């Protein structure tokens, strides 16, 4: 089967694909305002009108050639010449429509198309010394224009008045012999006939123009509302992702049931500003919040850099975790690097702000349970012995030091430098051997 042509069942779709670009209106979103949209709409529809007129006149020319070959008594050479002149003019109109002039002033092409079709037979009659109203050609042109280009009714009125002015003016100026298409037709009938044709055409164009303007404005309002909804949705999405990890947020949007996952390998870090409660009395509330926000913003940036998940802040305490919600092989290294960078960041912050903040950090590695519980003001939180031990590592730690468990030390000892602190008593766990993380090897 030839793939260039559709099968019988697909002719409708094939024809629709080829004609749709000619009939479709310009995209409303692309137009800044209704006059701009109307301008593009007229330009597109004029292209369709010119081609339809050219095809129609070609059929009339073929009919005259057929008369010349087979019915010589019905052949009219003056008709054929007129038709050829109109066809040439339509081709010129197609070319002009694609030029800068046509794109800028399609109204001129509209008048060219209108008067080329309606006045060519009248000019032919003037040259022959007669004046005959075209009760078929004029209404057909006016109704076609109102159908194909139903905007700017004053332009339609100008094109119609131009035809009538030429008809009556040429009769008076050149004292032409008047011929009506039928014996029963009178001057009064002709005037009323074209008066009501023009009224109907212009009224239909006016009503369509108003409807198109209203639809344009409604569509633009709808687009603006949609854009606003989209902005609000993105803002809500951003806020949600600032509260929950992206995978958890997606799961929560799809299913509001309790989310709880177990992770075998994770690293939990607690950090606390040493003596912050005592320092708080030295600052006014706004200055205090500003300083704390500056410190924690630095920590947030570090968490993103190391691909860690910030869990929460409680007062001057900061909690971050590695290895979840997506498991990672270097969870221990990532949490250790985070702790070291937090120390460096706080030192830099003290230099910039002329402060003397100190930080105490505790780290534990091992299994945890992570999830979201509750219905209101939920957060992504952690549970398990590893979380409790990490909290104890911080609370029983030393200022400006990073205290880790023995399990964490065993995982990291080949790549990082440690100082053995020894056994300390941990509430609920008894004595535990801990180490102080000093840096990378």
Closest to 267 measured CA to CA, from 367, 392, 361, 384: 367
| Same domain for 109 and 67 | yes
Structural domain that includes position 332: 256-440
Residues 218 and 265 in one domain: no
Q: How far is 176 from 159, CA to CA, in rounded Å? A: 23
CA distance 324 to 259: 13
Residue with tokens 């708080």: 280
| Distance between CA atoms of residues 69 and 183, nearest Å | 32
pLDDT on residue 93: 93
3-state SS of the chain is CCCCCCCHHHHHHHHHHHHHHHHCCCCHHHCCCHHHHHHHHHHHHHHHHHHHHHHHHHHHHHHHHHHHHHCHHHCCHHHHHHHHHHHHHHHHHHHHHCCHHHHHCHHHHHHHHHHHHHHHHHHHHHHHCEECCCCCHHHHHHHHHHHHCCCCHHHHHHHHHHHHHHHHHHHHHHCCEECCCCCCCCHHHHHHHHHHHHHHHHHHHHHHHHHHHHHHHHHHHHHHHHHHHHHHHHHHHHHHHHHCCHHHHHHHHHCCCCEEEEEEEEEEEEEEECCHHHHHCCCCHHHHHHHHHHHHHHHHHHHHHCCCEEEEEECCEEEEEECCCCCCCCHHHHHHHHHHHHHHHHHHHHHHHCCCCCEEEEEEEEEEEEEECCCCCCCEEEECHHHHHHHHHHHCCCCCCEEEEHHHHHHHCCCEEEEEEEEEEECCCEEEEEEEEEEEC
The CATH number that applies at residue 325 is 3.30.70.1230
Residues 401 and 328 in one domain: yes
Rounded CA separation 53/94 (Å): 11
One domain for residues 432 and 331: yes
Structure tokens at 239: 């806020």
Per-residue pLDDT of the chain (441 residues), as tens digits, is 344 444 445 666 655 665 555 445 544 446 778 999 999 999 999 999 999 999 999 999 999 999 999 998 988 898 899 999 999 999 999 999 999 999 999 999 999 999 999 999 999 999 988 988 988 889 999 999 999 999 999 999 999 999 999 999 999 999 988 888 888 888 889 899 999 999 999 999 999 999 999 999 898 888 888 888 888 877 877 776 666 666 777 666 666 666 777 888 889 999 988 877 777 667 777 888 888 888 889 999 999 899 898 888 888 889 999 988 888 888 899 999 999 999 999 999 988 888 888 889 999 998 988 887 766 667 778 888 888 888 888 888 888 889 999 889 988 988 899 998 888 888 778 888 899 988 887
- Same structural domain for residues 212 and 360? no
Told to judge if 427 belongs to the known catalytic residues of this protein, a careful annotator would answer yes
Write down which residue in 209, 224, 239 finishes a domain.
Answer: 224
Torsion of the alpha carbons at 307, 312, 318 and 324, rounded to the nearest 10: -30
Catalytic-labelled residue, pool 20, 282, 376, 427: 427
Is position 239 within any domain?
no
Domain assignment present for residue 246? The answer is: no
Q: Is residue 236 part of a domain?
A: no
Which of 203, 224, 245 marks a domain boundary? Answer: 224
- The per-residue pLDDT for 29 is 45
343, 348, 353, 357: CA torsion to nearest 10:
20
Q: What pLDDT shows up at residue 48? A: 92
Q: Is residue 333 part of a domain?
A: yes
Q: Which of the following is catalytic: 124, 392, 417, 440?
A: 392
**392: annotated active-site residue:** yes
pTM of structure: 0.58
Q: Domain total for the chain?
A: 2
Q: Verify that 261 and 204 share a domain, yes or no.
A: no
pLDDT at 441: 79
Say yes or no: 277 and 370 in one domain.
Answer: yes
Residue 247 counted as domain residue: no
The upper half-sphere exposure of residue 83, i.e. CA atoms within 13 Å in the direction of its Cβ, equals: 18
231 assigned to some structural domain:
no
157 and 70 both lie in a single domain: yes
Same domain, 210 and 265: no
The CA distance from 104 to 89, in Å, is: 19
Give residue 326's pLDDT: 83
Q: Are 353 and 207 in the same domain?
A: no
Q: Let me know whether 262 and 165 are in one domain.
A: no
In this structure, is residue 248 part of a structural domain?
no
Look at residue 284 in the predicted model and tell me its pLDDT. Answer: 78
Q: According to the model, what pLDDT value does residue 11 have?
A: 60
Same domain, 198 and 272: no
Domain C-terminal end among 205, 224, 243: 224
**54 inside domain:** yes
């Amino acid at each position: 089967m030839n793939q260039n042509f559709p099968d019988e069942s697909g002719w409708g779709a094939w024809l629709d694909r080829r004609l749709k670009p000619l009939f479709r209106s310009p995209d409303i979103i692309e137009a800044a305002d209704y006059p701009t949209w109307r301008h593009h709409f007229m330009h597109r529809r004029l292209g369709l009108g010119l081609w339809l007129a050219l095809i129609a006149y070609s059929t009339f020319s073929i009919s005259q050639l057929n008369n010349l070959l087979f019915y010589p008594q019905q052949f009219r050479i003056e008709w054929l010449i007129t038709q050829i002149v109109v066809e040439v003019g339509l081709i010129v109109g197609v070319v002009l429509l694609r030029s800068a002039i046509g794109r800028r002033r399609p109204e001129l092409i509209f008048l060219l198309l209108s008067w080329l079709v309606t006045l060519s037979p009248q000019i032919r009659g003037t040259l022959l010394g007669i004046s005959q109203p075209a009760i078929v050609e004029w209404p057909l042109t006016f109704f076609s224009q109102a159908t194909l280009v139903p905007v700017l009714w004053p332009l339609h009125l100008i094109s119609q008045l131009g035809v009538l002015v030429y008809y009556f003016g040429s009769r008076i100026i050149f004292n032409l012999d008047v011929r009506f298409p039928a014996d029963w037709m009178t001057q009064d009938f002709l005037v009323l006939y074209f008066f009501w044709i023009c009224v109907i055409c212009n009224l239909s164009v006016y009503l369509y123009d108003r409807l198109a303007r209203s639809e344009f404005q409604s569509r633009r309002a709808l687009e603006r509302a949609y854009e606003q909804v989209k902005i609000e949705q993105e803002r809500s999405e951003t806020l949600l992702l600032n509260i929950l990890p992206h995978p958890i947020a997606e799961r929560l949007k799809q299913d509001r049931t309790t989310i709880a996952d177990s992770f075998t390998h994770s690293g939990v870090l607690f950090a606390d500003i040493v003596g912050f409660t005592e320092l708080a009395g030295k600052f006014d509330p706004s200055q205090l919040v500003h300083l704390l926000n500056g410190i924690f913003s630095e920590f947030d940036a570090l968490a993103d850099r190391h691909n860690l998940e910030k869990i929460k802040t409680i007062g001057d305490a900061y909690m971050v975790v590695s290895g979840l919600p997506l498991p990672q092989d270097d969870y221990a290294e990532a949490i250790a690097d985070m702790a070291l960078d937090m120390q460096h960041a706080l030192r830099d912050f003290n230099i910039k702000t002329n402060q003397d903040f100190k930080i105490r950090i505790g780290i534990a590695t091992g299994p945890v349970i992570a999830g979201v519980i509750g219905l209101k003001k939920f957060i992504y939180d952690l549970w398990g012995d590893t979380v409790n031990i990490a909290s104890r590592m911080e609370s029983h730690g030393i200022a400006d030091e990073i205290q880790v468990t023995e399990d964490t030390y065993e995982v990291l000892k080949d790549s990082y430098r440690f100082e053995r602190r020894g056994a300390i008593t941990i509430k609920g766990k008894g004595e535990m051997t801990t180490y102080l993380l000093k840096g990378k090897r």
